């Protein structure tokens, strides 16, 4: 009787899970048909528990230079470090997967529920700006955090996490010390960084729809390639890439991992059975994201202490 009850319970759980997956798929399909971002649809699937939110905090003099700040509600589980997540979107506006901070509430919820104050900034993109302005915007967001949230005091540090184009931005800030110098901050405020599915070893001038964004470095393309800045002084990092990524080749992460390892830097690399967007959806999207992403990221975060 007990065995039959357990089988019934397992069957019910499976049916509920499958039902939720179908609902999620229908919502996302509806979003595609209405031409809105799939991430906007995903946001509707995530509850609003476990955090408080301060919206539209300015960190610069442009309307797009705003950030949302997620604070943990559980005061017994507070981490000293601050996480800043930088979304992707091909460094440009007007595309289906172009980013907005509001679409990544699931990321803010995940990390704030784990005790981290979590910041998600918007930043300027093409055609408003070209490289390196969007990297400089995120560096200025770091400066705001340093000035207003006591980085380097009481052992508080910043951890950068980025996906796709956001991983490209995050890795440049972590690896090229000039971005910290330009905003007057020592790189020691950075405890570590995580790159999800990032283009670290690519030639943007060879990609037609990306080339106009990076034409400012046509005579010095290495300025836009994170792998060019691999050194022993790089802060600890973690690279996660999907084996089934058809948008950004996993060779980008593998090449950067080898370059940083060869330089003597502390870097981890994990290849998972996932596509390009699965890595970011793994940061808290129910029934869709790869749980392996969360497991890997939190294991890395614990290693930084």
Alpha-carbon dihedral 248, 249, 253, 259, rounded to 10 degrees: -120
Quote the pLDDT of residue 26: 47
pTM over 0.95: no
For β-strands 51-58 and 66-72, DSSP reports them as: antiparallel
- At which residue do the structure tokens 């610069």 appear? 60
pLDDT of residue 44: 75
CA distance 182 to 283: 31
List the structure tokens of 247: 């948008």
The predicted pLDDT at position 60 comes to 92
Task: Output the six-digit token pair for 57.
Answer: 């905090």
For tokens 């990297």, name the residue: 135
Provide the residue ranges of all domains of the chain, joining segments of one domain with +: 1-35, 48-303
Instruction: Judge whether 300 and 286 are in contact, CB under 8 Å.
Output: no
Taking every pair of Cα atoms in the chain, the longest distance, rounded to a whole number of angstroms, is 75
- Of 122, 103, 123, 104, give the one whose Cα is nearest residue 112: 104
Provide the residue-wise pLDDT of the chain in tens; the chain has 305 residues: 444 444 444 444 444 444 444 445 444 444 444 445 667 777 777 888 889 999 999 999 888 899 999 999 987 788 999 999 999 999 998 666 668 999 999 999 999 999 999 999 999 999 999 999 999 999 999 999 999 998 877 689 999 999 999 999 999 999 999 999 999 999 999 999 999 999 999 999 999 999 999 999 999 999 999 999 999 999 999 999 999 999 999 999 999 999 999 999 999 999 999 999 999 999 988 667 778 999 999 999 999 97
* CATH of segment(s) 48-303: 3.40.50.1820
CB 120 within 8 A of CB 84: yes
- Dihedral of CA atoms 206, 209, 210, 216 in degrees, nearest 10, equals 90
Q: Which two tokens stand for residue 173?
A: 């800030």
The predicted structure's pLDDT at residue 43: 75
- Closest among 256, 241, 235, 237 to 293, alpha carbons compared: 241
- Token pair listed for 78: 């507070």
């Amino acid at each position: 009787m007990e065995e039959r009850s357990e089988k019934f319970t397992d069957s019910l759980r499976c049916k509920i899970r499958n039902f939720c997956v179908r609902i999620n798929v229908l919502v996302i399909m509806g979003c595609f048909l209405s031409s809105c971002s799939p991430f906007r649809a995903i946001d509707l699937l995530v509850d609003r528990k476990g955090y408080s939110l301060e919206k539209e905090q300015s960190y610069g003099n442009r309307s797009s230079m705003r950030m949302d700040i997620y604070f943990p509600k559980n005061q017994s589980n507070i981490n000293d470090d601050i996480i800043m997540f930088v979304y992707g979107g091909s460094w440009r506006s007007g595309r289906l997967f172009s980013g907005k901070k509001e679409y990544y509430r699931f990321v803010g919820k995940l990390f704030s529920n784990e005790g981290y104050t979590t910041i998600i900034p918007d930043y300027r993109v093409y055609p408003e700006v070209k490289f390196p302005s969007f990297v400089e915007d995120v560096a200025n967001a770091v400066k705001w955090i340093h000035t207003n949230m006591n980085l380097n005091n009481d052992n508080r540090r910043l951890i950068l996490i980025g996906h796709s184009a956001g991983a490209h931005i995050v890795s440049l800030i972590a690896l090229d010390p000039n971005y910290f110098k330009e905003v007057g901050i020592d790189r020691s405020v950075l405890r570590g960084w995580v790159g999800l599915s990032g283009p670290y070893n690519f030639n943007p001038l060879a990609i037609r729809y990306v080339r106009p964004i990076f034409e400012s470095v046509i005579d010095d393309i290495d300025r836009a390639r994170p792998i060019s800045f691999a050194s022993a002084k790089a802060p600890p990092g973690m690279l996660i890439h999907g084996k089934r990524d058809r948008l950004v080749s996993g060779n980008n992460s593998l090449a950067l991992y080898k370059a940083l390892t060869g330089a003597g830097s502390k870097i981890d690399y994990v290849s998972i059975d996932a596509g390009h967007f699965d890595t970011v959806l793994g940061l808290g999207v129910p029934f869709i994201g790869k749980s392996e992403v969360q497991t890997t990221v939190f294991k890395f975060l614990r290693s930084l202490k």
